[in-house]
Every structure is written in C-alpha cells, then in structure tokens.
Amino acid sequence: MVAVVGNPNAGKSALFNALTGARQKVGNYPGVTVERHSGRLWLPDGRPVELVDLPGAYSLDPSSPDEAVTRDVVTGAQAGEALPDALIVVIDAANLDNHLRFTLQLIALGLPVVVALNMVDLATRDGLEIDPAILARALGVPVIPTIAVRKRGIDDLKEAVGRIVAGENIRVIAPGHGDPVDAFDMMLHQRRAREIAALAIVAEKPARQWTRRVDAVVLNPVAGPLILAALLFVMFQAVFSWSAAPVALIEGLQGWLSEGASALLPEGVVRSFFVDGVINGVGSVVVFLPQILILFLFILILEATGYMTRAAFLMDRLMARVGLSGSSFIPLLSSFACAIPGIMATRTIDDPKDRLTTILIAPLMTCSARLPVYAIIIAAFIPNDSVGPGIGLQGLVLFGLYVAGIAGALLAALVLRRTVAKGAAGSFMMEMPKYQLPTLRDIAIGLWIRAWIFLKRAGTIIFFTTIILWALLSFPQKPAEVPGTQSEYSVAGTISEGLHVIVAPIGFSQDIALALIPAMAAREVAVSALATTYAIDQSDEALVEQSLGERLQSRWSLPTALAFLAWFVFAPQCLSTIAVTRRETNGWRWPMFMLGYLFALAYLAAGATYWTATALGL
C-alpha cells in the first residue's frame, strides 16, 4: 500500500484522482469516521498497487482528529491499516517553505518517499522558478514536478513510485546530513525547510496575483457579505428550480414501473408488496436525488475553488457571537445537504468544545432528507399564492422552515456553549488557499460518490424499513365485518396507538404516530410511510388515483400539517446521524443528549405551532 500525504490544499485529492481514475472506494477508518479513499494505481510495469488518500495535515503533531489519522497511518499505529510501503508526499510548489517542513518530518520517518512537486503552473503564475534537481538533492529523495488537475507529470510519478516500491534505493544522500533526525522536532524542520526553499527557488519575480485581486472584491467589507448572501440565495434557489425536470423524469419512471407491475401481477398481497411497498416506498425517496446532487454540486465547487474558507472568514465574527468560530461554518453549510458529511467535516475544528457544539447543532440545519417531507406537506396545505413579485407563499414557508432551523441552531449553540460545552472562547486560524478553477473530473467524482452513498441508503435502510412497515401494516388482515381501517387493525396500528397518546396533545393523528416510527431510521421515510399506510387503506377503486397530497388534504387539518412541519425542523429522526455522532464523540453520552434535547425542542415547537394555529382558527 502506498499513501498520499501532504499539507491541506497541496492538491492531494486531485493527484489521487489522476493516479487512480474512477476506480475508487470510499470507506471509513476503523473506529473513526474520517473517510478512507482508496483506489488502484497501475504501475508502468503492469503491477497494481493500492493507493490511499490521507487527510491533509500540517505536521506529525496533530491538533485536530483528522490529522491524528494521518500521523497514525504513516507511523503504523492506525488499527486496521498496515504501515505503508511508500509515501507520495504532495507539496504545493508555490508554498515551499511551509510544505517542506512536513515533508522533512515524513522523510525522517524512514519510509521510502517520492515527492510530487505539485501545482508548478500556479507557482510559475506567481513568478516563482523552482529547480526540482536542487530540491531532490537537498531532500535526498526523488522530486517529480506535477500539475495534478491537468494530469501532467503523472507518468513520471508512477514510474518513480514503481522504482521505490520495487525496493530500489534511490535516496541521493541521507537526509539531515547523515545525522539521525527526530521526526517530531518541529522547529528544526521549520528552519531547514526555509533554508531548502531558499536554495530551490532559483528566481522570483513579481507577478500578477490573481488571488489577491479576487480577494480584494470577495473580502471587501461591503461587497463581500453581499456576494456571500447572493451565492447562498442562488444555491438554494437552484436546488428547487433546476431539479424540476429530472424529478419529473424519475416520477414518470416510477409511475411506469408501478403500472407495469400492477398489470403483470394479480391483485393481492404480492402486488401490494411490490407496488405499495417497494416501488412507491423507495421511489418517493429516490425522487429527491436531483436536489441532493445540486446542493452537493455547489458545495463541492465552493470547496474546490477555495471560496469556502473566505466564507468562513466572513462568518467568523457572527459565529463568535454564539461561541463558535468560522471553522464551524463549513461543516454547518455541508449539513444543509446532509448532517453526516457535516459532522464528519467537524474533524477539522481544533477546539474540542467548538467541535462538540457544532456536532450537536448540525442536525438542525435543514438537510436534504427533510425536503421530501416539507415538499409534500407544503404542496398539499399551503396555497400556491403570490405574496410579491417573484415570491410565492409556498417558497416563503419553505424559507421560513430553513430560517427556523438556523435560528434554533444558533440559539442551541449559545446555550450549549454556556452549559454542557462550556470553555474558553475558541480560536480561528485557517489557511486561505489560492483560488483555483475546479476540474470537471474531480467534481464529477465527488458527485458520483455522494449519489452512490444516497442510492445505497435508499436501497438498504429505506428499502428495508419500508418493507417491514408494509408487513406490519398489512398483517393481520382485517376481516371485512370489522369496522375501521386496515392500518388501525394491523400490528403497526397497535404499536402506534401507544405512541399516539403522547403525540395527540400536539395535534398528531394515529397515522402520523405510525409514520414517525419507521421515520426514526431516516426522515424521508415519513413520506413513504404515509404513502404506504394510505395506499393500503385505499380500498375504493375511485380513490386509488388520488395522489398522496390529496389524501393528506382530506385527512389532516391545517394546524396538524403545520405542527408536523415544525416537528421535522427539530426532530433528530435519522439513525445514521446518531451513529456518526456516537463514533465522533466516542460513546453514547452525546448522541443520547442530542436525541433528548432535539426531541424536546421538536415536541415544544410542534405543540406551540398546533396550539397557536388552532387558537387562530386556521
């Protein structure tokens, strides 16, 4: 196994993509939730080597949990991962003094090393001329100039990796002039890094500085916040407007499948299983794939260009008001797509109390799994009126739900930072990388990984919970002479009767209580659960044609629908989030706390909404 290591923003992942192509696997490090990207690298002589992309780190002395994984892998201390056979150390050519320090530390560990002198084009753009031969002599290891995003130097790099993996000793001289060097002595490596950088940079002329010009606009005290607000507005707008066509396509496919299945299968339990359970249950969730991908597309582009750290810079002061820092902004923004990558992204936060608070409030960001729930209820109960030029009432309600989540999160952070996560004010220190044009290929790979994770979730958790629910709802079969509906008579009906006692005060019917149980696995299951419940109860042929929205309209009051929306702003109904929180906080204490405080908030919010709406006579 060969590991790709380097400072953050050195271009490791682009290099990894260029070396392995699409044959990538995503997993986790055992015991921790840092994503483990691995892939196969074909050496020039035709042999395959496993390549692993390690999280970026500044040194072997980790200050955040993801840097600890990097240190543990390169020192052979990571459980479930063998000591690498060789390291590809990626350094940013325009940032030699800094990146060479970590390189020297890694070389001092004694593993075979090849240095990829990456982004040489950007260094040239900055007016830097670097001699790779001088660098190789000073470091004592091969140095290959590369431009990962344009796949330059990749073949040379593969050849060099092939040679060191074959055991060929190509160290020019021993590092550190023959003295044994302590890999962990940072000051020593720091000074040597600057000496070597000064030697290797053979010419430096003033150049156009694109990044500084862009920053002058993007970080301008007036224009900067306006640009950020506009970007976020366009992002959320796009999630809805761009997704209309692909969503219609998926719905068409789902309709075609269920019609086909209905025609092929005889009426009865088997048809009900495939049409009500499998096709409609899973379909009602898969239909949200386009929106999730659009949201991730924006987040991936913002990250790849380097804008994300500018957003963190602009947001730091506001976040400081509730006891957090700009570093929390990036995980929280990702949580709008899904809290799981959001919570995983908190690993880059140095301060443990900041990190804990960010994890605990991440589920309050309106994730894409809530969209199916919000969309169906809003479409059914909120009239499609216009309240101003280009502003619809439905859109306004949706916006209100997002705002309610954000306000809840900020308030929760404020309280948590003064109670359970009390501590000194956090800090905010972050490298602001040079701007780069994102490459289509890297964005496409990122999107493909997200789509695959979502579909796998739809295919497993959502598929099985839907099927179990279908079974619990369908059996025992209600005899015709017994009054009431099939769902009330079923096993699920009996279970939900108990829960109904608790949720009745906040306006929830027994059908809703029933839907909340499987929706513990994932929020979007609430929609498929309601669809399955009402589909099973639908005996009248004339009513079969009714959409889920129409069925909800005829059964729910407006206060109930509004309370249901308020519930989902806060309710922590997602097993994966709970699981990821347990792993990230090393125990059950914090996920249990999260469940408790979020359910309490959800109950209060839904109750307040229901009682207010009823009092207003809605």
Partner 1 sequence: MRLHELPMNRPATIAAIAWGDLRETDARRLRELGFDEGVSVEKLHQAPLGRDPLAVRVGRMTVAIRRAHAAAVSVEVAA
Report the residue from 26, 134, 186, 455 that binds partner 1 according to the rule CB under 8 A: 186
**326 near partner 1, rule: CB under 8 A:** yes
How is residue 368 written in tokens?
Answer: 């894409």
**61 near partner 1, rule: CB under 8 A:** yes
- List 24's β-bridge partners, or say none: 39
The window from 88-96, 254-262, 266-274, 437-445 that contacts partner 1 (CB under 8 A) reads: 88-96
**432 near partner 1, rule: CB under 8 A:** yes
Contacts of residue 303, Cβ cutoff 8 Å, sequence gap at least 6: 330
How is residue 111 written in tokens?
Answer: 């593993």
**215 near partner 1, rule: CB under 8 A:** yes
Report the residue from 314, 362, 512, 565 that binds partner 1 according to the rule CB under 8 A: 314
Please, what is the minimum distance in Å from the beta carbon of residue 91 to partner 1?
A: 12
The window from 312-320, 516-524, 560-568, 578-586 that contacts partner 1 (CB under 8 A) reads: 312-320
User: Which residue, 214 or 453, is less far from partner 1 as judged by CB?
Assistant: 214
**424 near partner 1, rule: CB under 8 A:** yes
Characterize the bridge pairing of strands 113-118 and 143-145.
parallel
The window from 156-164, 413-421, 429-437, 537-545 that contacts partner 1 (CB under 8 A) reads: 429-437
- Whose CA is closest to 281, among 471, 140, 429? 471
The window from 93-101, 104-112, 448-456, 573-581 that contacts partner 1 (CB under 8 A) reads: 93-101
In angstroms, the CA 599 to CA 607 distance is 12
Instruction: Look up residue 461 and give its DSSP letter.
Output: I
**222 near partner 1, rule: CB under 8 A:** yes
User: Which residue, 74 or 458, is less far from partner 1 as judged by CB?
Assistant: 74
In angstroms, the CA 395 to CA 385 distance is 10
Report the residue from 430, 444, 495, 499 that binds partner 1 according to the rule CB under 8 A: 430
> Is 574 within 8 Å of 369 (Cβ atoms)?
yes
User: Which residue, 281 or 426, is less far from partner 1 as judged by CB?
Assistant: 426
User: Inter-axis angle of helices 393-418 and 558-570, to 10 degrees?
Assistant: 40
- Whose CA is closest to 216, among 325, 310, 326? 310
**94 near partner 1, rule: CB under 8 A:** yes
In angstroms, the CA 141 to CA 131 distance is 14
Q: Count how many Cα atoms sit within 13 Å of the Cα of residue 539 in the half-sphere of its side chain.
A: 8
- Whose CA is closest to 344, among 364, 365, 330, 324? 330
Report the residue from 429, 542, 615, 616 that binds partner 1 according to the rule CB under 8 A: 429
- Footprint of partner 1 on 495-524 (CB under 8 A): none
User: Which residue, 83 or 219, is less far from partner 1 as judged by CB?
Assistant: 219
Tokens 């055991």 appear where? 167
Report the residue from 208, 212, 213, 456 that binds partner 1 according to the rule CB under 8 A: 212
Instruction: Look up residue 401 and give its DSSP letter.
Output: H
Report the residue from 234, 244, 248, 318 that binds partner 1 according to the rule CB under 8 A: 318
**236 near partner 1, rule: CB under 8 A:** no
Report the residue from 15, 41, 96, 115 that binds partner 1 according to the rule CB under 8 A: 96
The window from 15-23, 392-400, 428-436, 450-458 that contacts partner 1 (CB under 8 A) reads: 428-436
Contacts of residue 309, Cβ cutoff 8 Å, sequence gap at least 6: 330, 430, 431, 432, 433
Q: Is 119 left (phi over 0), alpha (psi -120 to 50) or beta?
A: left
How is residue 51 written in tokens?
Answer: 């390549």
User: Which residue, 67 or 81, is less far from partner 1 as judged by CB?
Assistant: 67
Amino acid at 2: V
The window from 156-164, 397-405, 420-428, 590-598 that contacts partner 1 (CB under 8 A) reads: 420-428
Could you tell me how many residues of this chain bind partner 1 (CB under 8 A)?
A: 38
**208 near partner 1, rule: CB under 8 A:** no
Report the residue from 225, 392, 438, 549 that binds partner 1 according to the rule CB under 8 A: 225
**59 near partner 1, rule: CB under 8 A:** yes
> Is 330 within 8 Å of 320 (Cβ atoms)?
no
**525 near partner 1, rule: CB under 8 A:** no
**312 near partner 1, rule: CB under 8 A:** yes
In angstroms, the CA 572 to CA 369 distance is 11
In 7-134, beta strands by DSSP E = 24-28, 35-42, 48-53, 86-92, 113-118, 128-130
Tokens 């090849």 appear where? 114
**104 near partner 1, rule: CB under 8 A:** no
**65 near partner 1, rule: CB under 8 A:** no
Please, what is the minimum distance in Å from the beta carbon of residue 245 to partner 1?
A: 38
**58 near partner 1, rule: CB under 8 A:** yes
How is residue 499 written in tokens?
Answer: 């829960």
Report the residue from 427, 460, 477, 547 that binds partner 1 according to the rule CB under 8 A: 427
User: Which residue, 327 or 486, is less far from partner 1 as judged by CB?
Assistant: 327
Phi, psi of 81 (to 5 degrees): -135, 125
The window from 214-222, 267-275, 395-403, 540-548 that contacts partner 1 (CB under 8 A) reads: 214-222
Report the residue from 284, 291, 309, 358 that binds partner 1 according to the rule CB under 8 A: 309
Cα→Cα distances 281→191, 248, 461, Å: 62, 17, 12
**63 near partner 1, rule: CB under 8 A:** yes
Contacts of residue 534, Cβ cutoff 8 Å, sequence gap at least 6: 511, 548, 551, 552, 555
Tell me the per-residue interface mask from 267 to 296 with partner 1, x by CB under 8 A, - otherwise: ------------------------------
In angstroms, the CA 109 to CA 74 distance is 8
**178 near partner 1, rule: CB under 8 A:** no
In angstroms, the CA 4 to CA 161 distance is 11
Report the residue from 13, 17, 20, 95 that binds partner 1 according to the rule CB under 8 A: 95
Q: Is 291 left (phi over 0), alpha (psi -120 to 50) or beta?
A: alpha
User: Which residue, 214 or 451, is less far from partner 1 as judged by CB?
Assistant: 214
Please, what is the minimum distance in Å from the beta carbon of residue 214 to partner 1?
A: 11
**188 near partner 1, rule: CB under 8 A:** no
Amino acid at 30: P
Binding site for partner 1 (CB under 8 A): 58-59, 61, 63, 94-98, 126, 186-187, 190, 211-212, 215, 219, 221-222, 224-225, 309, 312-314, 316-318, 326, 350-351, 424, 427-432
